[in-house]
Amino acid sequence: MAISHDPVTAAPTGIDIEAWTVEQAAEALQASSISTPTPPRPRANVTIEIPLDDDALAAANAMATAEPRSKQEVHTVYKRSAPVRRDSLKRREALLKGKEGSRRRQRWENDRLLSNPYAQPPLPSDWEVRPTYPIHNVPYFLAPLWDAEYKAKAQAKITPRRANNVGDTRAHGSKEEQAAARVPRELREKLKKSRGAKNMLQDLEEEVRSFVQQWSSKERQMAEDDLVDGDSEDEEIVFVGRNGAMSDDRKRSKSVVSDDSSIASISSDDLAKERMILESLVDDRSAAFGRWLVHSIATYYGLETWSVTKGSPARREAYIGLKHKAAPAFDELPRPLYVLV
């Protein structure tokens, strides 16, 4: 088998400048020429437009070219409307009654007394405008008899009933005495909480009641004997004698002749217008409650009260006295506080 050898052409090699000689370099330089470079040609510009609002423009064009809505044929299907329930008196009454056995039905039946066998419908006379209390028509010729006898009997029944009421003092006369004889609410509350205070209240009140009773009897006796001065200014006049002795006109004694020709003298010196009710040490804290009780009792009986510190060691004294120049004239003393509270 014959093997043919094809001739291999050598690849062209580049110019080896380093192997040049001086002469070869000079020849190469002479053969080459240097000229100014030509400017590059401008490239052609290509603009690309990307439409972003194609959809909006298409919709606008479609609306512009579309026909009016009234001319379009649209197929519509209407739903069946629910029936409207008409308002009627039967329906309103059924709503007011409510369902059987419900609370609304029970209230409706109770309002109309349906379950009460003794209920009666109102009569025409019930709608008349007239007083609801019974009226007693007294003939004119019996009016003096009513004023003289029956009215007095009725008043006699009412008076003790009012006097026995708790805190009611309308049978005691003046408004000041009525206001004074009311039981303070604070006194009731404190005596409910403190147990042994009721005995203390009773002891203090008995002494105050004796003071009020003495002055009331004295005022009644002076009123019977016409010894009450009409002018209150005379009680403030003080006469000074030559020897410097002062005599107060309000302390002078007045004598009267009684039916049996005996002389009875009534002097206000014998009965002082103030009295000490409670005395205790200043440092005694428990005595403060006792003094407060004295003040409450004095307010109940229309008296004036004050406290004074005296002596050494210091003592605290609680006094009661008359608010006015005349003592409160009670026909009957009000019920004791220790009974009411």
Q: Is 247 helix (H, G, I), strand (E, B) or coil?
A: strand
Number of domains in the chain: 1
Q: What is the pLDDT of residue 247?
A: 44
Alpha helices in the chain (DSSP H): 22-31, 54-65, 89-97, 103-111, 143-145, 151-164, 175-180, 185-193, 197-224, 287-300, 337-340
Q: What is the DSSP string of 299-331?
A: HHTTEEEEEEEETTTTEEEEEEEESSSSPP--S
Q: Residue 319 domain-assigned?
A: yes
SS3 content of the chain, % helix, strand, coil (to 5): 45, 10, 45
Q: Residue 161 domain-assigned?
A: no
Q: DSSP letter at 227?
A: -
Here the CATH number for the domain that contains residue 305 is: 3.30.1370
Each residue's pLDDT, cut to its tens digit, for the chain (341 residues) gives 455 555 555 555 556 666 677 787 788 777 777 777 677 776 767 777 776 766 777 777 777 776 665 555 666 777 777 777 778 889 899 999 999 999 999 999 999 999 899 999 999 999 999 898 998 887 888 778 777 787 788 788 877 665 555 444 444 455 555 555 566 666 667 666 666 677 788 888 888 888 888 888 887 777 777 665 544 444 444 444 444 444 444 444 333 333 433 333 344 445 677 888 888 888 777 778 888 888 888 888 888 888 888 888 888 888 888 876 555 556 677 778 777 76
Instruction: Say how far apart CA 24 and CA 294 lie, in whole Å.
Output: 152
Q: What is the pLDDT of residue 258?
A: 39
Q: Residue 21 domain-assigned?
A: no
Tell me which H or E stretch contains 280.
Answer: strand 274-281
Burial 309-334 (b: 16+ CB within 10 A, else e): eeeeeeebbbbbebeeeebbbbeeeb
- How far the first Cα of the chain sits from its last, in Å, is 157
In single-letter form, the type of residue at position 135 comes to I
Question: Could you tell me the pTM of the whole model?
Answer: 0.36
Q: What is the pLDDT of residue 7?
A: 53
Q: Residue 78 domain-assigned?
A: no
Instruction: Say how far apart CA 266 and CA 329 lie, in whole Å.
Output: 18
Contact between residue 318 and residue 294 where contact means Cβ atoms under 8 Å apart: yes
Residue 266 pairs in a beta bridge with: 254
Q: Residue 138 domain-assigned?
A: no
Instruction: Say how far apart CA 83 and CA 188 lie, in whole Å.
Output: 71
Q: Residue 131 domain-assigned?
A: no
Q: Could you list the residue range(s) of the whole structural domain that residue 291 is in?
A: 179-224+268-340
Q: What is the pLDDT of residue 104?
A: 96
Q: What is the pLDDT of residue 229?
A: 52
Q: Residue 307 domain-assigned?
A: yes
Contact between residue 338 and residue 201 where contact means Cβ atoms under 8 Å apart: yes
Instruction: Say how far apart CA 246 and CA 242 lie, in whole Å.
Output: 9
In single-letter form, the type of residue at position 319 comes to Y
In single-letter form, the type of residue at position 11 comes to A
Q: What is the pLDDT of residue 167?
A: 45
User: Cα angle at 291 between 286 and 294, to 5 degrees?
Assistant: 140
Q: Residue 88 domain-assigned?
A: no
Q: What is the pLDDT of residue 106?
A: 94
User: Cα angle at 115 between 111 and 119, to 5 degrees?
Assistant: 75
In single-letter form, the type of residue at position 125 comes to S
Q: From 97, 323, 316, select the one nearest 212 (Cα to Cα).
A: 323
User: Cα angle at 252 between 247 and 254, to 5 degrees?
Assistant: 160
Q: From 310, 313, 316, 312, select the one nearest 295 (Cα to Cα).
A: 316
